[in-house]
Chain A
Amino acid sequence: MEVAAAKMIGAGIACIALVGAGIGIGNVFGSYLSGALRNPGAAASQTTNLLLGFALCEATGLFGLVVALIILYG
């Protein structure tokens, strides 16, 4: 196989990491909502944790994206 083609395929495969990020972010917000609807009084105090969880989750997927970019341009 040509190296250029293999690079493209590899970069595409590396982007599968974003699947996990998608599931994770959905989980973060879904769990927050179900918790918040059960106990709306405690919801406001947990928004910082929510945002922290969202950002941490999103970042893990982006690690995969970085790998893809390194493969393509590195």
Chain B
Amino acid sequence: MAMNPMEQFTIKPLIEAPLFEIGGHPIYFTNQSLLMIIVAVAAGLFLTFAVKPGRLVPSRSQSVAELSYEFVGNMIHSATGEDGLKFFPFVFTLFIFVLCSNFFGMVPGSFTVTSQIAVTLALSCLVVGMVVVVGFAKHGLGFLKLFVPHAPWYLLILLIPIEVISFLTRPISLSVRLFANMLAGHTLLAVFAGFVVSLGFAGGILSGLAIAPMLLIVAIMLLELLVAFLQAYVFAILTCIYLNEALHLHDHH
């Protein structure tokens, strides 16, 4: 009866035949691809149609769209300053995609896209690749000064490798943070759901006790909603912080 709590993360192909092949690897249309498409389409459609009427006094959906726009705008402005605002579309897209996939994952029976390390690693590699490109485009080889903090030369021998390693581990920490939070939360929910089932079938007074883990699931669900938002926020603000370093190197704006 005990269900495997990790079962919810399995990727199954929805269409048996592979769509195409890349270098001998068959590419399938999986439940993950489906959820990613749903998330992207739903978020795109919502944001498009919410602001379409363009009322002076916004409707509920329009103010949600405007609030999220302002929220991300303020975040970029406070983290990177004025010239970071040209990265608004990039950060906003990332934030909305991560937020919507986290929230779609909270729907019972659906699939959490961000609980797959492949997805989050791709996103964070995109971010760090973007940072490197922006840094070299803006400062040329001067971007490498990012790895040289203000310190005496004998400390630099130690500090430069540390800075380089900490830069190179960014895609890993950024992706594992999001992935681990989602994975841990959903595993926790599944474990407690398993308690409800096994207590419920135990019979007698134990069946009545099944209400306790049930209530706990509700509480954890609320915490997970907070975490889902928070992780999207953290992902976006860390993107801003990394972009800020690429734009301004060490000097403060």
A residues at B contact (CB < 8 Å)? 48, 51-52, 54-56, 58-59, 62-63, 65-66, 69, 73
Contacts and interface: CB of A to CB of B under 8 A. Distances in A.
Contact of B180 (A48, A51, A63): A63
Interface of B: 6, 173, 176-177, 179-181, 183-184, 187, 227, 230-231, 233-234, 237
A56 B234 contact: yes
B180 A62 contact: yes
B194 to A, nearest CB: 16
8 closest pairs, A vs B, by CB? Answer: A62-B180, A59-B177, A55-B234, A66-B180, A55-B230, A62-B184, A65-B184, A51-B230
19 contacts: A48-B237, A51-B230, A51-B234, A52-B233, A52-B237, A55-B177, A55-B231, A59-B177, A59-B181, A59-B234, A62-B177, A62-B180, A62-B181, A63-B176, A65-B180, A65-B184, A66-B176, A66-B183, A69-B187
Main secondary structure of the interface of A (DSSP, over half): helix
B121 to A, nearest CB: 13
B53 to A, nearest CB: 31
A25 B193 CA distance: 26
Please indicate which of the listed interface residues B173, B179, B180, B184 has the most CB atoms of chain A within 10 Å of its own CB. Answer: B180
Nearest to B179: A66
B84 to A, nearest CB: 16
